[in-house]
């Protein structure tokens, strides 16, 4: 803000909080000098959401203490940090072999975002929208069907026996036992059943994952699957 903008800000604050008003010309000039020294690098407004008057008004509304320049400067620094945190550097248009030009463009873009003259450039997820998916990626996902390729899944099966057994059961049309809570070992949905290891004193020393679910859990999953199937079938038969 230049001196004229600082003077306008002080006049606005004075209307909201008369304690800031200075009655003599010398006091007003000294106040203007101090505020300009501390807020000279803070803009009055930006095209994207910053307004020094709003920051001042918010302080006067919520604090019983008389406003000082820091009460405007601190919200401005928070505004800068928030915008830079949401910014992902786009690829500069400069020649990457020209390191000086490449760096200068990055710095210029970040500065424009920080001071509120440009909007943050946010990284776009590859699956953020159906219309934005790369056709080559869509084709590959259709062929693979999973983020883990079939060959890798088969190689991992000996080390993930519970998951492999679950996937094999679902592929054969059997109920997914891990979709329900196990009443015997208290395993939560999605977690494998566990086997208790009993010590010489008869107490439970530890538990280890089972490769297959408890039969009672499988029965519960089958009953739930049948119930869901029946609920879907009834409207169709009506």
Across the chain, mean pLDDT equals 83
**Contact assessment for residue 40 and residue 4, using Cβ atoms and an 8 Å cutoff:** no
Largest Cα–Cα separation, the chain? 92
Distances (CA, A) of 161 to 16, 166, 186, 211: 70, 8, 19, 5
If DSSP codes are grouped into helix, strand and coil, which group holds residue 63? coil
- 34, HSE (Cβ side, Cα atoms, 13 Å): 10
For residue 150, what pLDDT is reported?
73
Confidence bin at 134 (pLDDT 50/70/90): low
What's the pTM value of the predicted model, to 2 decimals?
0.49
* pLDDT per position as a tens digit, 76-120: 999 999 988 888 888 888 888 888 998 999 999 989 988 888 888
Q: How far, in Å, CA of 77 to CA of 39, rounded? A: 11
**Does the pLDDT value for residue 9 go beyond 70?**
yes
Confidence bin at 42 (pLDDT 50/70/90): very high
Q: How far, in Å, CA of 217 to CA of 220, rounded? A: 5
**DSSP letter assigned to residue 22:** -
């Amino acid at each position: 803000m230049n001196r004229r903008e600082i003077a306008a800000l002080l006049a606005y604050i004075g209307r909201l909080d008369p304690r800031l008003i200075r009655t003599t010309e010398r006091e007003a000039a000294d106040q203007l000098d101090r505020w300009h020294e501390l807020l000279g690098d803070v803009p009055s407004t930006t095209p994207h959401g910053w307004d020094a008057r709003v920051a001042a008004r918010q302080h006067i509304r919520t604090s019983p203490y008389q406003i000082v320049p820091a009460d405007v400067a601190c919200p401005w620094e928070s505004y800068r940090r928030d915008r830079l945190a949401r910014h992902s550097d786009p690829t500069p248009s400069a020649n990457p072999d020209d390191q000086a030009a490449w760096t200068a463009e990055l710095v210029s873009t970040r500065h424009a975002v920080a001071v509120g003259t440009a909007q943050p450039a946010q990284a776009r997820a590859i699956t953020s929208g159906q219309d934005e998916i790369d056709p080559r990626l869509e084709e590959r996902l259709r062929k693979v069907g999973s983020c883990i390729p079939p060959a890798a899944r088969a190689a991992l099966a000996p080390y993930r026996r519970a998951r492999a057994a679950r996937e094999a059961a679902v592929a054969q049309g059997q109920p997914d036992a891990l979709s329900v809570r196990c009443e015997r070992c208290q395993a939560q949905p999605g977690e494998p059943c566990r086997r208790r290891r009993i010590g010489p004193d008869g107490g439970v020393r530890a538990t280890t994952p089972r490769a297959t679910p408890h039969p009672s859990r499988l029965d519960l999953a089958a009953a739930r699957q049948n119930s869901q199937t029946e609920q879907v079938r009834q409207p169709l038969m009506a």
